[in-house]
Structure 1
Amino acid sequence: MRIAGSAMRAAAVAAGLVLVAGCGGAARGGGGKDDGAGKGERPGGPARGASATTHLKNIPEVGSALQSRIPADSRQVVAVYGEDTDSAESTVVLYEKGARGWDRKAMWAAHNGRNGWTLNHHEGDKRSPVGVFTLTDAGGVLADPGARLPYTHSPGFTPPSYWDKGTRHDFDYVVAINYNRVKGTSPLDPTRPQGQAKGGGIWMHLDHGSGTSGCVSIPKAAMTELLRALDPARHPVVVMGDKAHLSA
């Protein structure tokens, strides 16, 4: 399904609310690089002591608390391994489940909220929410690169002109993280079922070289690869947090 016409125009109207109140807040004073095109796979990364990357019984370094929240029918997991509770540095790994277990498919350097992570995310705290969230919707300023998730192509994703120029391409591609949002709608939908104070507009998007207002950012090439890989038939989810909360 692709969204266009009147739906696109409606999404563009709503975009300002989403971008200003959501991850878009990272743009002011971001001070980072353009779209993160220079950042790639982080050597070593989340293996962190794990000797195998294929046929894994569970997602590495994720404890029972979050492991138990991964839906039984999920066959794709995007794991975001935060360096520390108060750090904006992280690593993103794509895992897919086959007949013999979980296999690591890709790994990229990433950023999360500039203030780190939280179990109780609130609007404006500049921290990314810890948890397991479904991934059902995508979009961006640029045309669909071959996404399997429903993709909203709209100029409504364009950041406001007053944002730091280093963040102008942040939303060329995005995947909505289903934290306090209505799944099955455009990432531009500003609806927050748990209320405005709980924050929202938490996305995966292009990296600008520094922390965000709560989103997870990866390089453009990585976003393109991820969009082409995430398959609604595999019920993809993101498992995200700092290493201490992930391993609990």
Structure 2
Amino acid sequence: MKNQRTAILASIVLAGGAAFTALAPAAQAATFNPCSAANHGRLKYSTGSASHVVFAISSGYSSNHVVVTECVKQGKSWKKVSATTGRAGTKAFARPGAKREGDGKSPTGSFTLTDAFGLGNPGTKLTYRTLHSSGDCWGSTPGESHYNDYYAAAKCRSTDEDLSATARRGPYHQAVVINYNRPNPKRGYGSAIFFHVGGVTPTAGCISIKESKLRAIMRTLVPYDRMIMGPKSALFRS
């Protein structure tokens, strides 16, 4: 997904971000409470063994504006911790099972969170990798080694993610790995789906929010918490 990510970043710089300044405040956007809906049996996806679930919910498959809500398990119920606005892929969301490499869409579904990376651990209990000034890569080339996984190299393949370079630009100051199509990836089904810094402009398939909000969520996460993401109608029963 490297080429598409580069194109998106370039378009953001040229536009100065002006096209995306009309985001509604989180307090207005977060009218739907996914924590309460999960308590009432409306959630279509499993929360597994998670003690925290982060929902990224759009209004439909064509929208890349999302509300990101964190819920904490208290006894047998979920309680809302926080909510904020964010962005998904430039082409919004793929239907379940339809995500493919380079399509600009975010996957729909429920995915575990086990790993994170960035410029320094903000206090998360996820397995954390501190990035170097160079040499940190993520495989995004179907058929090549380390597809949808981290690797270190003197120079990343041109079709892979240069995590170090993206961290210097800002998006990967902090990031949580969303375990879509991993740890046993299917060739061409998509890679490098992260929960990272941003929240104003669309991504190449990741979920992004403001850095302060992301850091706060990361501090609560433990291995095998979950990200449940997609359009509201795909995630919840009416």
Do they superpose with TM above 0.5?
yes
What is the aligned partner in structure 2 of residue 172 from structure 1?
173
Q: What's the TM-score, normalizing by structure 2?
A: 0.74
Q: Is there any run of 5+ residues in structure 1 with no aligned partner, and where? A: 1-18, 162-166, 183-191
Q: Is there any run of 5+ residues in structure 2 with no aligned partner, and where? A: 137-162
Distance between the aligned counterparts of 1:176 and 1:146, measured in 2? Answer: 16
The CA deviation string for residues 153-205 of structure 1, in whole angstroms up to 9 with x for no partner, is 013323369xxxxx9100110000001122xxxxxxxxx6211x111100000
Q: Secondary structure at the match of 2:173?
A: coil
Q: 1:209-248 maps to which residues of 2 (within 5 A)?
A: 209-232=200-223, 235-248=224-237
What is the aligned partner in structure 2 of residue 131 from structure 1?
109
1:95 paired to 2:71: yes
How far residue 105 of structure 1 moved from its aligned partner, in angstroms, is: 0.5
CA 121–57 in structure 1, closer or farther in 2 if over 3 Å, else same: closer
Residue number among 47, 56, 77 corresponding to 2:31 in the alignment: 47
Whichever residue aligns with residue 46 of structure 1, its letter is A
How far residue 28 of structure 1 moved from its aligned partner, in angstroms, is: 3.5
- For the 8 Å contact 1:132–1:240, the answer to whether it is kept is yes
Q: 1:144-183 maps to which residues of 2 (within 5 A)?
A: 144-155=121-132, 156=136, 157-159=163-165, 168-182=169-183
Paired-residue identity, %: 25
Q: In the comparison of the two structures, how many residue pairs are matched?
A: 200
Q: Which has the higher strand share?
A: 2
- For the 8 Å contact 2:4–2:104, the answer to whether it is kept is no
- For the 8 Å contact 1:24–1:159, the answer to whether it is kept is no
1:193 paired to 2:185: yes
- For the 8 Å contact 2:200–2:209, the answer to whether it is kept is no
How far residue 84 of structure 1 moved from its aligned partner, in angstroms, is: 2.2
How far residue 23 of structure 1 moved from its aligned partner, in angstroms, is: 5.9
What is the aligned partner in structure 2 of residue 11 from structure 1?
none
- For the 8 Å contact 2:85–2:199, the answer to whether it is kept is no
Whichever residue aligns with residue 205 of structure 1, its letter is H
1:85 paired to 2:61: yes
CA 23–231 in structure 1, closer or farther in 2 if over 3 Å, else same: farther
- For the 8 Å contact 2:68–2:84, the answer to whether it is kept is yes
How far residue 100 of structure 1 moved from its aligned partner, in angstroms, is: 5.1
Q: What's the TM-score, normalizing by structure 1?
A: 0.71
The CA deviation string for residues 57-109 of structure 1, in whole angstroms up to 9 with x for no partner, is 7268x84532xx221x2221101111321111011000011125110001111
CA 221–64 in structure 1, closer or farther in 2 if over 3 Å, else same: closer
How far residue 24 of structure 1 moved from its aligned partner, in angstroms, is: 6.3
Distance between the aligned counterparts of 1:103 and 1:41, measured in 2? Answer: 21
Q: 1:51-62 maps to which residues of 2 (within 5 A)?
A: 56=36, 58=38
